[in-house]
Amino acid sequence: MLAAAAAACSDASKSADPASPAAAPDAKKVDESTAAKITGKVTFEGTPKPNAVINMASDPACASANQGQVTSESILVDNGALQNVFVYIKDGLGNKYLYDMPTEPVVLDQKGCHYTPHVVGLRATQPLQVVNSDNTLHNVHGMPEKNREFNQGQPVPGMKNTVTFNVPEVLIPFKCDVHSWMHAYVGVVSHPYFAVSDKAGTFELRAIPPGTYEIEAVHEKLGRQTQSVTLGAKDAKDITFTFKPAV
């Protein structure tokens, strides 16, 4: 399972994701002619507190790669839209469907002494490639609860390591043990129905078979929200998740 290097840490909400069931003997691919979709937006209610200012003076390579004041990426809000929320189908698919597995790895880069992207999703057993694009030492420390923890240094610029997660888990925190401000989060699921909200807070889940599903939205600091959505054939539903400041 482990083969790599990776990144980020913090206090993301505890995962409560069921293990992916083995496909039923009569499992089949989703019928594209009747598939539905969910579009949506994630919003933030109120005014967020300013993110903490990051002092990179301890590593000149990091300081020189960033101009002006640098702040944490914990809560990014733009005109009420909340970025970096992991949205996925948590329940309702069962083991009735078969999905093609992507062969290309998902890339988590370390650039300018930040993890990029800050939140990323991938399929269980799909490779995650962690890259050091900086001219400095990074130490990738992944801290899953259901998968195996790993901790590996990347001293050489351009170094790449690969790790896979066998069990669904949302979210897995990553950190860099060299640079305390570096954090990222990885959502691992057993199906292709996941997304990360963009700067406008929007997301989309496509090619979903008709049915009733529990949709979960997870934020590293603000916790989890769920709602039920019923989709008919060729249906399209629009939903909204609204997060509030943490107590």
Per-residue model confidence (pLDDT) at position 23: 77
Question: Contact at 8 Å (CB) between 23 and 30?
Answer: no
Give the bridge partners for 88, in sequence order. 194, 216
Per-residue model confidence (pLDDT) at position 22: 75
Per-residue model confidence (pLDDT) at position 1: 32
pTM of the entire structure? Answer: 0.89
Of 3.40.50.720, 3.40.50.2300, 3.40.50.620, 2.60.40.420, the CATH number of 28-243 is 2.60.40.420
Q: Which of 107, 103, 159, 109 is nearest to 129 (CA)?
A: 107
Angle, vertex CA 162, rays to CA 159 and CA 165, nearest 5: 155
Angle, vertex CA 244, rays to CA 201 and CA 173, nearest 5: 70
Question: Contact at 8 Å (CB) between 153 and 4?
Answer: no
Per-residue model confidence (pLDDT) at position 10: 36
> Over the stretch 89-110, which tens digit does the pLDDT of each residue have?
999 998 899 999 998 999 999 9
* Mean pLDDT of each 10-residue bin along the chain, 247 residues long: 34 47 81 97 94 94 92 95 98 93 94 97 96 95 94 92 95 95 97 98 98 98 97 98 89
Per-residue model confidence (pLDDT) at position 11: 41
Q: Which of 135, 142, 152 is nearest to 175 (CA)?
A: 142
Q: Is 180 helix (H, G, I), strand (E, B) or coil?
A: coil
- Rounded to the nearest angstrom, the gap between the alpha carbon of residue 130 and the centroid of all alpha carbons in its chain is 14
Per-residue model confidence (pLDDT) at position 15: 44
Domain ranges within the chain, ordered by starting residue: 28-243
Cβ-Cβ contacts under 8 Å for 25 (sequence gap 6 or more): none
Q: Is 63 helix (H, G, I), strand (E, B) or coil?
A: helix
Per-residue model confidence (pLDDT) at position 25: 77
